[in-house]
A and B are shown apart, each in its own frame.
Chain A
Amino acid sequence: MTFTVMQAFLIGLWALFCFAGQVWGNYTNRALFISFGVGLILGDLQTAVIFGATAELAFMGFGVGPGGSTPPNPLGPGIVGTIMAISIKGLTPSAALTLSYPFAIIVPFVITFIFTINSGSMEMAKKAIMEGKYRKYQWMSNFTLYGFMLFAFVFGFAATLSTSALRVFVNAIPTWLMNGLSVAGGLLPAVGFALILSTMIKKEYIPAIILGYVCVAYLKMPVIGLAFVGAVLAFNNYFNGKKAVKNDGNNDVEDGGFEDGI
């Protein structure tokens, strides 16, 4: 299966649109959503969405990096991974996910590069405004956005056109290594989950974690049910926890009163 230049152009535009969402803060740059558009353009929505969901779960924790680092970006699996999943028959979603990691890792370097070359933004903007060149300021104030868009377009366009090269490369991988990549694809989502847990976890959330595990491992509960069970715990904490705090507060006041009295 080879894709047309028109398809490559559309994928480029789609990548541009989705990646711009990272700047606007509106969540279009998520693997699940990127894959959906790629699937529509390449004409295999089913495969695309299954792969997109796999990548979404693995990359869920990569929204923020610990300590301000830029984590692997979902644009990699969203574009390249989906193209591989669609165009290479017999490639499992896990293996496609593993193979798209290098592309996910290139993206943060480009982001860092754009942020760095735009570092003089403040001085340039100040100069432009003081000289009354407001149009120049307006253009400059979109520099990062334009940089992101340009990169994403080239990324999507090039990835689509190099499908046959990707396929030759993937077909050259021996079976034992392919199995290994599939196994690794099963292990890798642990990174995303552990990362998100490390940013969210506090001791008071341990019951939520055990509850979630029990519901899935022993009760085989579907995910919407899981959300309802979580809501029960959350509202129970909210209403009954408030009561406890109030009681504590009263006790404290009384204690204080006694101490003052003494």
Chain B
Amino acid sequence: MASRTPVLTKKDYAVSVLRSYYLQNAQNYGNMQGTGMLKTIWPQLRKIYKDDESEFRRVAVSNLEFYNTNPQPYPFVSSLMLAMYDSGQDEDDVRAVKMALMGPLAGIGDALSQFALAPLFSTIFASLALEGMTFAPLIFIACLVAITFGVRCLMGYLGWKVGTSIIDTLSDQMAAIADIATTIGLTVIAGLSVSFVKVNLALQYTTSIKGKTQVVAIQSFLDKIMPYMLPVILIYFVYWLITKKKWTVYKIILLLLVLGIALSAIGLLKP
């Protein structure tokens, strides 16, 4: 295909980064994000093909096909695709790049935004809120929105700036960043989880030491051996149910609900 003179300006690319928030507006079980993906690049495509309506329709419809990725690094795809369309590159190549990026970017995006960033900020600001900092939710949301917006802008810029060859080194760097975030996240989550899950034994027994009767709670006994022993066991038990027994979340919730009520009713656990 003959190459053509690019018509898109930097502003058009910036607008497409903002439009990346539309990606999931039509999420469905047919083409997942396909319908929304076209929406994110709609005005830019119109500009590229403004002289040829039937060409515009053909390209637009071809972008309705199945697409499913993480919305945070997605602007990388849209910028890259627009740059390729705008310079008149082969449509099959554009499609190949688009599909090739779907999986890796979803992986990197999920690792960063769902497994690392969100839990990390969640634990930090929720515990600050529990300590009485009522405006913690505002800082929480400001941090997450700002960071993910930064990621989108950076990704949009990189997609515009570079070709496909760079994705290997890019994913190496992203993997390193994701690794650092995951380590910090897991340290915080591991620490907080044991103190947040509450399993208190109500059992106690009376002894007489030197003629004085004393009530000894078994819980305080356990705490001396290993603090938070029961929460650790419970979390491991649920982890085991999820990973080894493949229990669904709903089944586990039901089990814990029944266990909590039953064990409290027979006086084994207390709030």
Contacts and interface: CB of A to CB of B under 8 A. Distances in A.
A33 B137 contact: yes
Contacts of B227: 217-218
A208 B187 contact: yes
A185 B256 CA distance: 9
A164 interface: no
Contacts of A72: 249-250, 253
A122 B65 contact: yes
Contacts of A233: 183-184, 187
A121 B123 contact: no
B57 A130 contact: yes
A119 B238 contact: no
Contacts of B194: 213, 216-217
A183 B263 contact: yes
A103 interface: no
B235 interface: yes
Interface stretch (A4-12, A224-232, A250-258): A224-232
A212 B114 contact: no
Given A233-B183, A238-B179, A180 B260 contact: yes
B35 A230 contact: no
17 contacts: A26-B144, A28-B141, A32-B125, A33-B137, A50-B129, A52-B137, A64-B110, A121-B26, A143-B26, A183-B269, A190-B193, A190-B231, A191-B253, A194-B241, A205-B182, A216-B194, A227-B184
**Across the A-B interface, the 7 shortest Cβ-Cβ residue pairs:** A184-B260, A230-B187, A186-B198, A212-B190, A180-B261, A212-B191, A118-B28
Interface of A: 23-28, 30, 32-33, 35-36, 45-46, 49-50, 52-54, 56-57, 60-66, 69, 71-72, 92, 94, 98, 101, 105, 114-116, 118-123, 125-126, 129-130, 132, 138, 140-145, 176-177, 179-191, 193-201, 205, 208-213, 215-218, 221-224, 226-227, 229-231, 233-235, 237-238
